[in-house]
Amino acid sequence: LSKTSLIIQFLSIVLLFLLTITFHYRCWRAGINRNTKSFWRPIVILYISMTFMLYPTEFRLIALFVEESPFRKYEWYLYVCVGLPMLMNEVMRNVWHPGHYLPNDGAVVLGEE
């Protein structure tokens, strides 16, 4: 069950990564806000965040599928390869919070529906 859940998690992150790349490419090709940091910075932060989430998932998959893996023997691998990227992800998302890019007034409409 844990192998299946990790595979599903890995595939979900990869699919989200592909969806973001597709969105990024379409916006770039259409010329949408090419020169504004407030549009591109959240996309770049999303790329970095997904990389930080993909990295520990790969190590957990290796630990489950490889019998003689050092990840099973030593606990510090767990802290460095799983805990550190997730901690860096949380710090990054707190520093560059997505709410900074939304309008302060809730009545403001960002686009027509």
Mean pLDDT of 35-54: 82
Please report which confidence band the pLDDT of residue 8 belongs to, taking 50, 70 and 90 as the band edges: very high
> pLDDT tens digits for 45-92?
888 888 888 888 888 888 788 877 777 777 777 778 778 888 888 898
pLDDT at residue 111 in the model: 65
Residue 90, both tokens: 């949380």
Query: Where is pLDDT greater, at 109 or 3?
Result: 3
Closest CA to 96 of 52, 32, 31: 52
Task: Note whether 43 and 20 are within 8 A (CB).
Answer: yes
pTM: 0.73
Query: 18-33, pLDDT tens digit by residue?
Result: 998 998 888 888 887 6
> Would you say 36 and 101 are in contact if contact means Cβ atoms under 8 Å apart?
no
Q: CA–CA separation, 76 vs 70, rounded Å?
A: 10
What is the residue type of 59? F
Residue 112: per-residue pLDDT: 65
Tell which wins on pLDDT, 10 or 99.
10
Cα dihedral across residues 107, 109, 112, 113: positive or negative: negative
Quick one: CA dihedral 27, 33, 38, 44, positive or negative?
positive
